[in-house]
Structure 1
């Protein structure tokens, strides 16, 4: 049975260096025995946009096209010439010939080498694509990538029948994609905002993760984020409303309670658990329709 070595690197969309957030959107595979590259990427780029509204899908597609073009222009004799570099220094090869590590939003991860016994290159590619990419709703690298857009869609779903043009005719009371800029000029996007004495900015946070460490890290990152944005909240009469999803695994409830307790200490922050989104949405509806 043939021992098929392969080397692969995950292409990640890095949305926020501050929050350390990234999503897998592609995978580059090299099969040394066949001197062959395979590049696969997610066909559901719109899912990234549903998670991060300020994503430029056009920019991402341009990057993907450039990667495909560079791989196509590598001739077979060139691949054969660089065989040693490809096998032993795959990361450096990517940086030099495919996509430089220059701090752009798309970056390849550190490569890994593995072996497949009896599987051809297409089977290898299919298995890796199924495991790492966004095309299916599944846990990837310890995080759930689909829960947070579900939280905001639940909220907006209750409000979707409102006449927002009429609501905003005299003064802006409801916003989509509201942006807050901190003291250093970094900009943060909130899916929705609604006025009720304070301007309430909505941020979904899913703790439906696989490990307690992931819950702790996410809590610390968001605690740091909203601590950093506390001056903006005070200056502009803002409130940050966090739509929170619980973990599915009961073994993580203790860590979740600790994370919730940490976030509850923040000033000008309201916690809205997933099961209370309908009640919270009704408060927004009542405030928005009070004078119309």
Structure 2
């Protein structure tokens, strides 16, 4: 006799503006065994390819709590301290897992089926179905946002020596129309320039599309404050390694140049132009007023 099961896809929504959701976990309930099981990827680092300023710490903390909750529920089921049928599963998820007023983590409607062979092979099948994009594939000489920032920091430190803090401000928060945006560095030369690393050295066209869509959301969120407070976004961009992605990159670059034409931003290429950018900061930056 085949064993019935139900499951819910747990998704993460990084931005309410774009509304895009990404599957981050699966919650199973096996009726015959009366047992819950939760499954999620080992790493969420690849989400940073799709979402700017993505922090995996939040997701990991939430899923760790869910894992603990599953263990408690299974213990209560074994001790027969939790009486419910599979018909009550949606209510139990709502009561035990869902955090009130939380829009970042969502549970899908329950899906059901029958275990074809064994529980382990079924879980592996759904893991491959929902989490295949999280599997890490190493790219030789891959340039990500962290590497861009590291290169900038090294060049700036070598250029400014001990006076780096006099001309570069670190960890800046700007409150936009909808939410706050964080930046690692900023500097002043008539406008206050917010340094924004942006790598398009990705593997797929849709990754480039998602990343530039995210930036559209960021700029629209900050557009009013940029104009009001004389700010500017300095995008330090890295080109894709793969030639097949150059077309998608060109379209993303067009979007950034539109921001540049509107005096909302400027574009600096990673590599030799970064040296010139640091030299420009050294020659034109005004000392920051220490508060």
**Same fold flag (TM > 0.5):** yes
Query: Are residue 168 (structure 1) and residue 164 (structure 2) matched?
Result: yes
Tell me the residue number matched to 1:143: none
Structure 2 runs not aligned, ≥5 long: 286-291
The CA deviation at 1:188 is: 1.1
Tell me the residue number matched to 2:183: 190
Tell me the residue number matched to 1:265: 258
Q: Distance in 2 between matches of 1:280 and 1:111?
A: 52
Say if 1:15 and 1:22, in contact at 8 Å, map to a contact too.
yes
* TM-score normalised per structure 1: 0.68
The CA deviation at 1:278 is: 1.2
Q: Distance in 1 between matches of 2:3 and 2:239?
A: 42
Say if 1:7 and 1:113, in contact at 8 Å, map to a contact too.
yes
Tell me the residue number matched to 1:84: 87
Tell me the residue number matched to 1:142: none
Q: Which of 147, 169, 180 is 2:174 aligned to?
A: 180
Q: Distance in 1 between matches of 2:172 and 2:20?
A: 20
Structure 1 runs not aligned, ≥5 long: 139-145
Q: Which of 121, 124, 134 is 2:122 aligned to?
A: 124
Tell me the residue number matched to 1:27: 26
Number of aligned residue pairs: 268
Q: Distance in 2 between matches of 1:21 and 1:165?
A: 43
The CA deviation at 1:54 is: 7.7
- Structure 2 matches for 1:1-292, cutoff 5 A? 3-44=2-43, 55=55, 57=57, 60=59, 62-74=61-73, 75-76=76-77, 77=80, 81-86=84-89, 90=90, 92-100=91-99, 102-118=101-117, 120-133=118-131, 136-137=135-136, 150-162=143-155, 163=157, 166-169=162-165, 171-175=166-170, 177-183=171-177, 186-195=179-188, 198=191, 199-204=193-198, 206=200, 208=202, 219-220=212-213, 222-242=215-235, 243=237, 246=240, 250=244, 257-266=250-259, 267=262, 268-272=264-268, 276-290=269-283
Distance 1:217 1:229, change over 3 A: same
The CA deviation at 1:260 is: 3.7
